[in-house]
Amino acid sequence: MKNSFPQRVAVIGTGYVGLGTAGLLAHIGYQVTGIDIDPAKIAQLQRGEVPIHEPGLEGLLAGQEERLTWTTSYEAITEADVIFICVGTPPGPDGTPNLNYVTSAAASLAPFLNGHAQIIVNKSTVPIGTGDYVQRLLEDHSPNFDETRHRVVSNPEFLREGTALSDSLYPDRLVMGGHPDAVDYLARLYAPLIEQTFVPPAGTPRPDSYTRPAVVRTTLQSAEMIKYAANAFLALKISFANEIGGLCERVGADIQEVSTGIGFDGRIGHRFLQAGLGWGGSCFGKDTQGLISAGREHSYAMPILQAAIDVNYRQRQLVIDKLIRHLKSLKGKRITVLGMAFKPNTDDLRDAPAHDLIARLTQLGAVVTAHDPVAMPRASREWAHLTYTAAADAATALVRADAVIIATEWDEYVQLNWSELVGTMRRPLIIDARNILRDALPAQVEQIGREAAHYQPEQVLE
């Protein structure tokens, strides 16, 4: 393994992480085969269609057609020097990550391992100890397994949906955990990324201040823990901002000014201190629950993480409470929800706060209209169990609404002519759950962690 150099790559899984990994490695010069058991998804990719919304990804993949192939067959493993496992690990009912996709991928690739050096890289977010488990699965399912040639490395991803390309091409750190020989092998694969010798894609230029990523070489267990701990800490920061924001509302302070003030402390920083509707998506909730579950397995309580989760989901009810305080009963009221994806610049609906808002509003008797710039087609499939009317555009969604909730901070919503649009509402009430509105408006505006501006509408449309 020490004397060879990786040339061909296989990537198992074509979700956000898998597609980003495949596109990155093809761009820096490798022959990459993407593998997925979903024939429909592979057919899409073979037609040049990207099944997810991620800015810049479609252009990156389109520019690497000679280096990228897509298949449902695991036979590509026989030629691969490095095999990345990039499959989902959704939480189970008790918060424990479901490893079925990881174990299935490992068992499926194992028979195709052969006599040359191959390392298996786990990029999926997995519980501590999973790398050792995958190593055992390879031993059990591969007739050609050789522990000197076939090793498992943990190489967690730290991508943010919406900025995944930039995060992939210009990472702040690369974490690689496993046997030193296997880590060296993966580092050679990443050499163009570490040294930043590649030509940046046209749509994702290298930041002027960027130099190169830090490289963290460690054990399997530490690498797995680094991923969980990083996401849990960021989740803590968001929940802390929201908890302080709740007190700010009661004492007359402004959470945005408070966050700015404390963020100048270099030990704290400004990032992830935005109060609002709380986190969503596939990472923070799952990873904090995953750590709590790991602690439970080892009889170790983690009350700080549990409190972060409790505060986060309390924010969703807080928005409903603000609405009820103004409208009293919600029965028959027309409520507009702007934003369905859990964050802007993605169509990912996993654990999106808007889902819980729509479900609760409907339960309380409201008539819900919803809009999102990119996520509505996906919502029509994944949220078929919810009752709402999909609006063609944000302006239409506001017509004769009794209130609007801004649930996702899309730029499109920031740039709306709010002064004009509130005139089309039945009642000019805005619950700005992402604190994106800055200008005074002829409306009652409620934000998170800021004292609400008092406004008495001149008339109510009937």
Q: Evaluate whether residue 225 is within a structural domain.
A: no
Query: What tens digit of pLDDT does each residue of 164-207 get?
Result: 999 999 999 999 999 999 999 999 999 999 999 999 998 899 99
Query: Are 259 and 275 in contact, with CB atoms under 8 Å apart?
Result: yes
For residue 460, the model assigns a pLDDT of 47
For residue 461, the model assigns a pLDDT of 47
Residue 456's pLDDT band (cuts 50, 70, 90): very low
- 3-class SS of residue 84: strand
Domain boundary among 156, 183, 218: 218
Tell me what the mean pLDDT of segment 236-263 comes to: 96
9-13, 91-95, 140-144, 353-357: least confident range: 91-95
Same domain, 241 and 136: no
DSSP secondary structure letter of residue 76: G
Residue 444 clears pLDDT 60, i.e. is over it? yes
Full residue range of the structural domain in which residue 251 is found: 231-462
Tell me what the mean pLDDT of segment 77-90 comes to: 94
Query: What tens digit of pLDDT does each residue of 23-63 get?
Result: 999 999 999 999 999 999 999 999 999 999 999 999 999 98
Query: What tens digit of pLDDT does each residue of 264-273 get?
Result: 999 999 999 9
Q: Token pair of 254, please?
A: 């402004």
For residue 300, the model assigns a pLDDT of 96
Angle of the 130-141 helix axis to the 220-251 helix axis, nearest 10: 140
* Cα 339 versus chain centre, distance: 16
Same domain, 68 and 149: yes
Q: Evaluate whether residue 2 is within a structural domain.
A: no
Domain boundary among 218, 244, 273: 218
Q: Evaluate whether residue 1 is within a structural domain.
A: no
* Cα 414 versus chain centre, distance: 22
For residue 411, the model assigns a pLDDT of 96
Same domain, 199 and 254: no
Q: Evaluate whether residue 223 is within a structural domain.
A: no
Total number of domains constituting the chain: 2
Q: Evaluate whether residue 3 is within a structural domain.
A: no
For residue 414, the model assigns a pLDDT of 96
Q: Token pair of 46, please?
A: 């073979």
Q: Evaluate whether residue 400 is within a structural domain.
A: yes
User: Which of 283, 323, 337, 370 is flagged as catalytic?
Assistant: 283
Same domain, 208 and 238: no
For residue 65, the model assigns a pLDDT of 86
Distance between CA atoms of residues 5 and 17, nearest Å: 24
Tell me what the mean pLDDT of segment 78-101 comes to: 89
Residue 452's pLDDT band (cuts 50, 70, 90): low
Query: Are 338 and 409 in contact, with CB atoms under 8 Å apart?
Result: no
Distance between CA atoms of residues 123 and 233, nearest Å: 19
Same domain, 388 and 330: yes
> Does the active-site annotation cover 283?
yes
Same domain, 366 and 236: yes
- 3-class SS of residue 350: coil
Supply φ then ψ for residue 142, to 5 degrees. -110, 120
CATH of the domain at 119: 3.40.50.720
Same domain, 165 and 252: no
For residue 166, the model assigns a pLDDT of 93
Query: What tens digit of pLDDT does each residue of 367-404 get?
Result: 999 999 999 999 999 999 999 999 999 999 999 999 99
Domain boundary among 218, 239, 270: 218
Distance between CA atoms of residues 160 and 281, nearest Å: 10
Q: Evaluate whether residue 131 is within a structural domain.
A: yes
Of 302, 240, 248, nearest in space to 272 by CA: 240
Of 58, 162, 165, nearest in space to 410 by CA: 162
Residue 315 clears pLDDT 90, i.e. is over it? yes
Tell me what the mean pLDDT of segment 421-440 comes to: 95
Same domain, 277 and 380: yes
* 445-to-70, 143, 253, 403 alpha-carbon distances in Å: 49, 66, 16, 10
**Residue type at position 254:** D
Q: Evaluate whether residue 303 is within a structural domain.
A: yes
Tell me what the mean pLDDT of segment 119-126 comes to: 92
What value does the mean pLDDT of the chain take? 93
Query: What tens digit of pLDDT does each residue of 202-247 get?
Result: 889 999 999 999 999 999 999 999 999 999 999 999 999 999 999 9
Same domain, 80 and 21: yes
Same domain, 241 and 350: yes
For residue 423, the model assigns a pLDDT of 96
Tell me what the mean pLDDT of segment 143-164 comes to: 91
Same domain, 441 and 295: yes
Same domain, 73 and 178: yes
**Residue type at position 348:** D
